[in-house]
Structure 1
Amino acid sequence: MASADIERSVGYLGRLIDEARVIVPFTGAGISTETGIPDFRSPGGLWTRNRPIPFDEFVADQDARDESWRRRFAMEATFAAATPGRGHCALAALYKAGKIPAVITQNIDNLHQASGFAASDVIELHGNTTYARCIGCGQRYELQWVQMRFDSNGVAPDCTTCGAPVKTATISFGQAMPEDQMQRAAELSQRCDLFIAVGSSLVVWPAAGFPLMAKRAGARLVIINNEVTEHDQHADLVIHHDIGDTLSPFVRH
């Protein structure tokens, strides 16, 4: 986009934000790339270098579980070093101002919580990679506990309560989406008057349906993404520009 077009679009976004009563942001990997966390789907991303491990394979195969944890620990320095970017901080400012009741995110990096959102107001459609859970009884484990045991023998540990495998608290391919989070996301999408999709390619369903759900319910739809999305044609405003640059004027909104 030309600089004049970007300036006009950001100005219009500011007016939409001012006029809105309930704003619901929907965030994807693009909001976190400036923090150093890669977009796993992009060229050169993790999933182009390593085949994702489906949920049923993780459950059935100890070797798959071991490989899954090796990959996670290889990314630990990246996740641990990441701090909220300008996009996260702008949304957190609007949240603290009472404009945003909660954020819907496809991200697993915990950066919305770190930016100031209460954990209960972060709707994580794909889970959270900063801790683990037993896939049987749901008991929570901290990553340090898992890593200590994994480092001792190279084998992914099982739950100390029920014996089922312990997995990062993320949603893998083939794993059921979290019903409570999906329900909350649907409810918010249908009661907001401004829905802002930020940094998402909007190709992963059913999550990609929430912007259209909001639009059908009468909300204005804004899409902020570096690349074109399939939903651009439905939006009231589309900004193809750097997310941090676009949202940084609203950090102190």
Structure 2
Amino acid sequence: MYTPLQPSNPSHRLYTPVAGYPAARGRPIAVLSRGELRRAVPALPVAFRREEGGVTMVALMGLTLDRNFFVQDGGRWLGSYVPAAFRGYPFGLASGPDGKYVVCVDENSGALRDGPGAKALFEDDGQPSGFLKQVINFLQQVQADQQATRAAGAVLDRHGLLEDWPIAVTAAEQRIPLNGFLRVSETALAALDPAVLAEVRDSGALDLAYGQIYASNNLSVLGRLAEAHAKAAEAERARLPSAEEMFAPEDISFNFD
């Protein structure tokens, strides 16, 4: 549960990093920003989708709503790039009652504790520590970049450059559909009037367009990861003794003497 960080709260005094990204295991979709494209495009499938605030750019990392295939059971990240939305965890920004943003933390993250490499979140006078200032700066940069990315996405949408994307990923010889996502229409992009193309370029939306197009080739990675996870789970089940083996008659004896 995310709650505002408070220097008066004893449990908000220390932060110890949690190994890997276990909290991302159940999050197969992450919002991406334009500043992440250079590293995200070679590593992750990228799409657009409509949300309440407009069009957002997202990374696709699973085939169901509750499983991120880029995270192993122990939290180890399997890809070459971790989205900023996960790297900022367990911290986040939320709009306060006065319209200003406040720093929040997930109290269920297991990171608000003392331990090896623990970082103080506040100074003795209650002011943010140097570490927390770095966290705040990172969160603010990510938020600003995401806002700029949504603005660029609106430009793509306004000029009819986004279309429904009928995604279907092959895994274990099955075609698994993913619904509700958008992609850039290469046909519409190629037909743009030069003046409109200049507007799209100057707004930064052209970077998003080409980034999404190039990253669409990574959809096959989802299928391969799905198969790898399924094989790992099958191997794990094979290592576990069956109920019959666990309770075989020769293994059980009762002594009433």
Query: TM-score with structure 2 length normalisation?
Result: 0.28
Larger relative helix fraction: 1
Larger radius of gyration: 2
Query: TM-score with structure 1 length normalisation?
Result: 0.29
Larger relative strand fraction: 2
